[in-house]
Amino acid sequence: ASHQLRSPITAIRGYASLLIDGDFGQMPAEAKEPLERIEQSSKRMAMSIEDYLNVSRIESGNMKYNYSDFSLRNEVEKLTDDMRAEAIKKGLTLLFRTTDLQGQGMVHADIGKAMQIVQNLVNNAIKYTPEGSVSVYVRDDASKKKVFVDVVDTGVGIDADELEKVFVKFERARNANAVNAHGTGLGLFVAIKMAKAMDGDIIVHSDGQGKGSRFTVSLPLAA
């Protein structure tokens, strides 16, 4: 099922990208916007498919984790660099900082899933921040044996009575649709399940609508 769902979407994205880049010849100017919409829509569909597949794996107990020791600090910095262009396109500032980091931010976790979690949080911060900035901080706490990644934005914020709902499957904050109508309500559900499976967690804080949000993911410090 995974192969059957992914393959057509990959082909659509690939050919749309080739057409946009002019690999099949110069496209009429009026065709550029429809092609970009095809590419973006297929990208969202691919992400939705991955979310549904991950939910299926989690709920059936078939999610696999490949543990290793790696520098979460270095990986998060690279991810932030990669996502900066997307933030700039929206007129946002995307910053990376380390605070109270005693070591190299070494964790024991599944690197792919750890970065999927952080990417989800940064991507959400960009999507739900109409103006201002997104800041990503890495810190550690030797006494708690954890490394933390804080994703702080100046975006739409979340009301106090909805803070825990954002991690519930298919649930979204009331103001989410007004900013981004394409969310599935699965990304944060998958993210927190993965984090907890790796002996970590995700917590969220917001002072309310219009006052931004802070999502903090923790993962175990490497021994």
Q: What is the pLDDT of residues 13-32, one digit of tens each?
A: 899 989 988 888 888 888 88
Confidence category of residue 90, pLDDT binned at 50, 70, 90: very high
Residue 176, pLDDT score:
60
In the chain, what are the helix, strand and coil shares in percent, each to the nearest 5? 50, 20, 30
Q: What is the pLDDT of residues 165-209, one digit of tens each?
A: 898 887 766 656 556 556 667 889 999 999 999 999 999 999 988
Q: Which residue has the tokens 């660099």?
A: 81
Q: Which of 161, 153, 160, 140 is nearest to 213 (CA)?
A: 153
Alpha helix positions (H), 90-216 = 111-127, 176-179, 187-197
Looking at every residue in the chain, the average pLDDT score rounds to 89
The span from the CA of 126 to the CA of 155, in Å, is 8
Q: Which of 191, 212, 211, 213 is nearest to 202 (CA)?
A: 191
Q: Which residue has the tokens 């262009």?
A: 85
Residue 217, pLDDT score:
98
User: Taking a C-beta distance cutoff of 8 angstroms, is the pair 138, 73 a contact?
Assistant: yes
pTM of the model: 0.81
Residue 64, pLDDT above cutoff 90: yes
Residues 179-185: contacts with CB under 8 Å, at least 24 apart = 179/127, 179/128, 179/130, 179/155, 180/127, 180/128, 182/44, 183/127, 184/48, 184/51, 184/52
Tokens of 36: 């970009």
User: Mean pLDDT throughout 95-124?
Assistant: 92
Q: Which of 82, 150, 76 is nearest to 106 (CA)?
A: 76
Residue 173, pLDDT score:
64
Name 12's Cβ contacts closer than 8 Å, sequence gap at least 6: 38, 42
Residue 78, pLDDT score:
96
Q: Which of 174, 131, 168 is nearest to 153 (CA)?
A: 131
User: Taking a C-beta distance cutoff of 8 angstroms, is the pair 95, 133 a contact?
Assistant: yes
User: Mean pLDDT throughout 51-57?
Assistant: 84
